[in-house]
Amino acid sequence: MQFKTKSDMQALFKRVSNWGRWGAEDERGTLNYLTAERTAAAAKLVRSGKTVSCARNFPVQPGPENPTPALHHIVMGGDDPCAHGIPGMEVSLDFIGIAYHGLASSHIDALCHVFVDGKMYNGYSAQEVRSTGARRNSIMAARDGLCGRGVLLDIPALRGTKYVDPQKQVTAAELDAAETRQDVRAGEGDIVLISVGRDAWREQNKPKPGEGPPLAGLDPSCIPWLFERKIAVLGSDAVHDPTPSPAPIEDWPIPVHMCALASMGLHLLDNLFLADLEKACRTEKRWEFLFTVAPLRVEKGTGSPVNPIAVL
Amino acid sequence: MQFKTKSDMQALFKRVSNWGRWGAEDERGTLNYLTAERTAAAAKLVRSGKTVSCARNFPVQPGPENPTPALHHIVMGGDDPCAHGIPGMEVSLDFIGIAYHGLASSHIDALCHVFVDGKMYNGYSAQEVRSTGARRNSIMAARDGLCGRGVLLDIPALRGTKYVDPQKQVTAAELDAAETRQDVRAGEGDIVLISVGRDAWREQNKPKPGEGPPLAGLDPSCIPWLFERKIAVLGSDAVHDPTPSPAPIEDWPIPVHMCALASMGLHLLDNLFLADLEKACRTEKRWEFLFTVAPLRVEKGTGSPVNPIAVL
Amino acid sequence: MQFKTKSDMQALFKRVSNWGRWGAEDERGTLNYLTAERTAAAAKLVRSGKTVSCARNFPVQPGPENPTPALHHIVMGGDDPCAHGIPGMEVSLDFIGIAYHGLASSHIDALCHVFVDGKMYNGYSAQEVRSTGARRNSIMAARDGLCGRGVLLDIPALRGTKYVDPQKQVTAAELDAAETRQDVRAGEGDIVLISVGRDAWREQNKPKPGEGPPLAGLDPSCIPWLFERKIAVLGSDAVHDPTPSPAPIEDWPIPVHMCALASMGLHLLDNLFLADLEKACRTEKRWEFLFTVAPLRVEKGTGSPVNPIAVL
Amino acid sequence: MQFKTKSDMQALFKRVSNWGRWGAEDERGTLNYLTAERTAAAAKLVRSGKTVSCARNFPVQPGPENPTPALHHIVMGGDDPCAHGIPGMEVSLDFIGIAYHGLASSHIDALCHVFVDGKMYNGYSAQEVRSTGARRNSIMAARDGLCGRGVLLDIPALRGTKYVDPQKQVTAAELDAAETRQDVRAGEGDIVLISVGRDAWREQNKPKPGEGPPLAGLDPSCIPWLFERKIAVLGSDAVHDPTPSPAPIEDWPIPVHMCALASMGLHLLDNLFLADLEKACRTEKRWEFLFTVAPLRVEKGTGSPVNPIAVL
């Protein structure tokens, strides 16, 4: 099967569709695979108890990858801690604000984040996402947290490099090979993290002035792989879709986002920080762990900034 | 020991101090009790695998308890999903903003949130929290997540009521009695959640127009209890300190916040939603569970909105 | 003519319509009456040169009239003025944010702010105001500023009271009578300010707990008056429409806003502060002056906070 | 007199100081020169009545000159105009947010915006600008609006070029020469606008990738000129100080800002858009006009975004 043309992608979109699988009213998509039993089994994976954050710092610094930086404002600081006027009350307060989608913030995409031909997961209309909020497929589908077995696939290590060449997309065959190499297998209900060595790329390369670094990503062949394996959640240190794409497909600029979110109902974790987790996994010689994602409970929200925590 | 006067509290503040205990540069305070071993032990508590969110929804609705509501703005909705101009790209985007301290948002307080006499935990000066951010005791101390044994103490159940009367503060003796009644004991490195039935109060009472409901809280006698037990993190469905206080102490308006954050270095979880967790605990007849808090990695931040997840 | 029923209002809406009057592409509405000649004539009214602000302070304080207060955050203060890192550079910086519509902020309404039956001024569809901004009738129609003859009509003075009773709406006959009393006449291209003594009401009355004060406003009979006089812009210390209305009309909750903005194309200034201007006018014994409104140039915006300046 | 070294600048700073001139409590600085009489005289300059905005559009687009873009969010759009729930109420609402200092937004600097050696205008301490706001020299000093005689000096026209070469700063001698050429003279209480052709530069040059265009500015020799002429307010299409400076002085990175704001008490208008005004002035063959600036009334604010209006 090839994934080069618009009609290839349209066929793939249908093939991996989970529309209706969990009922006409479902908004959880492949989170349905992550059952309480699987959560309980994942907890049993914990050995050392080491916790590792997989998030980048709150992205307040402007830059080519961060054109609309997050806001962090001290509202009351140590220079005026009694401004409240209550005797003995000395406090500091702050404000944070963020439009978290894009390339800078570690965040989760709700299933309403992407539409294909005006529809989102389970066939709901794009019109359901109004100026006042998403009436369908909001992040509230994940309000009780995602807590399951995390599996990290280290593609640079497979290739014997520090990072994935942004021109050479990761293929499904490589996902299989990485599993073999790491002696781990991703299955139903798992949270799969695919490292492309984004931060190692930055250390060794200098982006062009005014541009962010290119981001490596997945070949569309990975899409049926994710579908067949019944993965619950997918994470990356980049954004799954190579940016810019070395092999763009007409009208399908972000095939992984389009098929995962809109067809499969597979929540995505973008812009994770995986270098610390890779190091911890190498140290403990294991690539599975308990993994928890706790989105903010934003009613009608299209996602949330998150700080996913792996426990080894 | 009595806790009624300013000098009582000054003595208590010294008695429960952990300043210097983990070195002159420490910013983690009682998080030091939550070791990897304890995290690993906590994971073993998981049985059913049921996950329960302990957060309220993102507080966008104004009200007496929420005078400065959070912002949630759709930046690009389903009525203009191609505004990016990339052919085939149909997305929705949003923005969230929040000054999370106060009575409305489920959040964690960093150790820089409260000062006593111009000092915060470990003796750092309030001047370290500048208009540009907290240089000491920021929420980054908790950046790798708090993941440990959670223990829920249900005070209304102990009292045989639906909620704690805001005029009758919870005492240390009641914490002991609740443990006995629930057959559980909070110890070193635990995350203790004390329910006062805040939401049940709301269901049965009507606050005065223009006022929020009074919030029940802890008597200062609980402070040495928390210290001696070596609790790592403390959570509440209210804000620990009764609001307004039925027994105010001169210059000590919020004794639990002041002693916990500034003296002990004990991180606080305010405004949790505990009704779902209580119900789940009653169903499973157990009051201990794996508990994970994943603050956003806001450098120099005074805390973070959070969605803490209990796994039973 | 009566204005009590839905069909009365529908007829009135048609009667005062300026749709098409200045062409099918017009977005300026009655600003077309405010020609350069009239601006030049208005400048000649200046005598003392006294300038008077007609705006309230930026509404950062929460309250019943201000449920979603404006944000004012110091981004860099005097405690860290060199945080930029440039030697010798000592600065302070701040951030402001506001959703200015409502009852608290002095602001101008763009013609896209109100729809009637899904249409706005000149027949454009409400659909033109997308989540990404207003493609029609944005505040950019007023980008070069409104500068013309201001006329202040003091209704409390006409009634011999300190403020307009919120139960007794201002009638067109009273507008005529106020003109006669003040020896002034509002005409084509004028900016008319109608004072209802909102701030005097507050001084003498105490709103109910949790509620804002009721706001006095105009009877619908004023609508044809505004139309026939060819007023360019209308301002008030309240919001033109009485709030809550003592005589509500089915499906026409805010008749002045609906007819002025959507039918006539008459820009509105809400929540002005007129007490200082009244005092200055009484002192100088004149009720006409040069009046300037300078909206921020927000492309696709639905209005702007403003600080209108009268020059006597 | 030379202005090349730190001690040159320290001497200049003292020479042009207005500290104490209008009393120990003064916060208006050279606004004291803009008397009611001068406002009245300025109004008499109006002939054609043409109004010209001197502001750029609200800077929501990211870019090298705009690393922290302004926010403009539709809060309620035409796709959900009845979300309020009031029958017949169809509205659109939006939110704006901006940290307006920098190179992108047309704004006014309050006198608290810049400190020199920890002091601001009239000798107040930088400590007065706290995390909770400026207690001294806030923009409220200009709350009644700046309305006076505007004088535009067109330096590119004087030089016979389209724009001022960013390497060749404007000198005091050129200000005199521009006056002679244009047959106009700036004097006590005037609002002086100095055009450096910033936007023409952009049209003819391409900034380096990732960088903003260099901004031309004033030589320090202009500082005593402004002082001696008793100018009330100074405006520019750039930011007065060349950026980056072709002739940097040790510890004096922004000499015009430092001397104008902190020593003279001269409010500054940064990043104006002057091309339309230049064109109108050429057409009407005059370089003086009525000029109005109406800052938002932000208590404790360090300035305000503005849309200054010239009336010819």
**Contact indicator for C243, C249 with CB cutoff of 8 Å:** no
- DSSP assignment letter at D229: H
Percent of chain A topping pLDDT 70 = 100
Give dist(CA A131, CA A110) in Å, integer: 16
Amino acid at C190: D
pLDDT at position C311 is 98
Give dist(CA A133, CA B78) in Å, integer: 10
Give dist(CA A147, CA B291) in Å, integer: 11
The ipTM (two decimal places) reads 0.97
User: Is residue A1 pLDDT above 90, yes or no?
Assistant: no
pLDDT in tens, B140-199: 999 999 999 999 999 999 999 999 999 999 999 999 999 999 999 999 999 999 999 999
User: Is residue B297 pLDDT above 90, yes or no?
Assistant: yes
Residue of A nearest to C95 (CA): A73
For chain B, give the mean pLDDT. 97
**pLDDT band (50, 70, 90) for residue C2:** confident
**Contact indicator for A242, A216 with CB cutoff of 8 Å:** yes
Q: Which of D68, D75, D208 is closest, CB to CB, to A209?
A: D208
**pLDDT band (50, 70, 90) for residue A70:** very high
User: Is residue B4 pLDDT above 90, yes or no?
Assistant: yes
Give dist(CA A174, CA A186) in Å, integer: 13
A61 φψ region: left (φ > 0), alpha (ψ -120 to 50), beta (else): beta
CA of B177 to nearest chain A CA: how many angstroms apart? 30
pLDDT at position B211 is 86
Say which residue the tokens 């993994």 belong to: A291
SS (H, E, C) chain B: CCCCCHHHHHHHHHHCCCCCCCCCCCCCHHHHHCCHHHHHHHHCCCCCCCEEECCCCCCCCCECCECCCCEEEEEECCCCCCCCCCCCCEECEEEEEECCCCCCCCEEECCCCEEECCECHHHCEHHHEECCEECCCCHHHHCCCEEEEEEEEEHHHHHCCCCCCCCCCECHHHHHHHHHHHCCCCCCCCEEEEECCHHHHHHHCCCCCCCCCCECCECCCHHHHHHHHCCCEEEECCCCCCECCCCCECCECCHHHHHHHHHHCCEEEECCCCHHHHHHHHHHCCCEEEEEECCCCCCCCCEEECCCEEEC
CA proximity to D57, closest of A66, C138, C4: C138
10 Å CB burial of residue A107 (0-12, 13-18, 19+) is buried
**Contact indicator for C246, C203 with CB cutoff of 8 Å:** no
pLDDT at position B59 is 98
Give dist(CA A214, CA D146) in Å, integer: 49
**Contact indicator for A248, A264 with CB cutoff of 8 Å:** no
Length of chain C: 312
Taking the Cβ of residue C75 and every Cβ of chain A, the question of whether any pair is shorter than 8 Å is answered with yes
Q: Which chain B residues are within 8 Å of C209, Cβ to Cβ? A: 208-211
**pLDDT band (50, 70, 90) for residue D91:** very high
pLDDT in tens, C60-106: 999 999 999 999 999 999 999 999 899 999 999 999 999 999 999 99
pLDDT in tens, B84-126: 899 999 999 999 999 999 999 999 999 999 999 999 999 999 9
CA of D289 to nearest chain C CA: how many angstroms apart? 11
Length of chain D: 312
Q: Give the containing element (helix H, strand E) for D178.
A: helix D172-182
Contacting partners of chain C (3+ CB pairs under 8 A): A, B, D
Q: Which of A71, A252, A307 is closest, CB to CB, to B296?
A: A307
Cβ contact B51–A38 (<8 Å): no
Give dist(CA A44, CA B265) in Å, integer: 31
For chain D, give the mean pLDDT. 97
CA proximity to C149, closest of C270, C45, C79: C45
10 Å CB burial of residue C131 (0-12, 13-18, 19+) is buried
**pLDDT band (50, 70, 90) for residue A206:** confident
Q: Which 212-251 residues of chain B touch chain A by CB within 8 A? A: 250-251
When scoring B132, B206, B300, B302 by the number of chain C Cβ atoms within 10 A, the one with the most, hence best to mutate, is B132
CA B194, distance to chain mean position in Å, is 10
**pLDDT band (50, 70, 90) for residue D5:** very high
pLDDT at position B180 is 98
Taking the Cβ of residue B85 and every Cβ of chain C, the question of whether any pair is shorter than 8 Å is answered with no
pLDDT at position D209 is 86
Taking the Cβ of residue C71 and every Cβ of chain A, the question of whether any pair is shorter than 8 Å is answered with yes
Say which residue the tokens 């009057």 belong to: C21
Taking the Cβ of residue C62 and every Cβ of chain B, the question of whether any pair is shorter than 8 Å is answered with yes
The helices-and-strands tally (H runs, E runs) of chain A is 8, 15
Give dist(CA A43, CA B152) in Å, integer: 20
Cβ contact B131–C62 (<8 Å): no
pLDDT at position B222 is 98
pLDDT in tens, A242-276: 999 999 999 999 999 999 999 999 999 999 999 99
Taking the Cβ of residue A197 and every Cβ of chain B, the question of whether any pair is shorter than 8 Å is answered with no
pLDDT in tens, A36-48: 999 999 999 999 9
Which of helix, strand or coil describes residue D166?
coil
Q: What is the largest CA-CA distance in chain A?
A: 72
Percent of chain B topping pLDDT 90 = 96
Cβ contact B131–C68 (<8 Å): no
Q: Which chain B residues are within 8 Å of D75, Cβ to Cβ? A: 73
**Contact indicator for B46, A40 with CB cutoff of 8 Å:** yes
When scoring B61, B72, B74, B95 by the number of chain D Cβ atoms within 10 A, the one with the most, hence best to mutate, is B74
pLDDT at position B302 is 98
**Contact indicator for B307, B107 with CB cutoff of 8 Å:** no
pLDDT at position C211 is 86
**pLDDT band (50, 70, 90) for residue A63:** very high
User: Is residue D166 pLDDT above 90, yes or no?
Assistant: yes
Which of helix, strand or coil describes residue C40?
helix
CA D91, distance to chain mean position in Å, is 35
User: Is residue B212 pLDDT above 90, yes or no?
Assistant: no
**Contact indicator for A95, B68 with CB cutoff of 8 Å:** no
Cβ-Cβ pairs closer than 8 A, B with D, add up to 19
Its pTM stands at: 0.97
Which of helix, strand or coil describes residue A180?
helix
Tokens of A24: 């006409």
User: Is residue C298 pLDDT above 90, yes or no?
Assistant: yes
- Within 13 Å and on the Cβ side, how many CA atoms surround C154? 23
For chain C, give the mean pLDDT. 97
- DSSP assignment letter at D219: -
When scoring D79, D112, D113 by the number of chain B Cβ atoms within 10 A, the one with the most, hence best to mutate, is D79
Kind of pairing between the strands at B233-236 and B288-293: unpaired
CA proximity to C116, closest of C222, C284, C256, C288: C256
pLDDT at position C207 is 86
The angle that helices D6-15 and D222-229 make with each other, rounded to 10 degrees, is 0
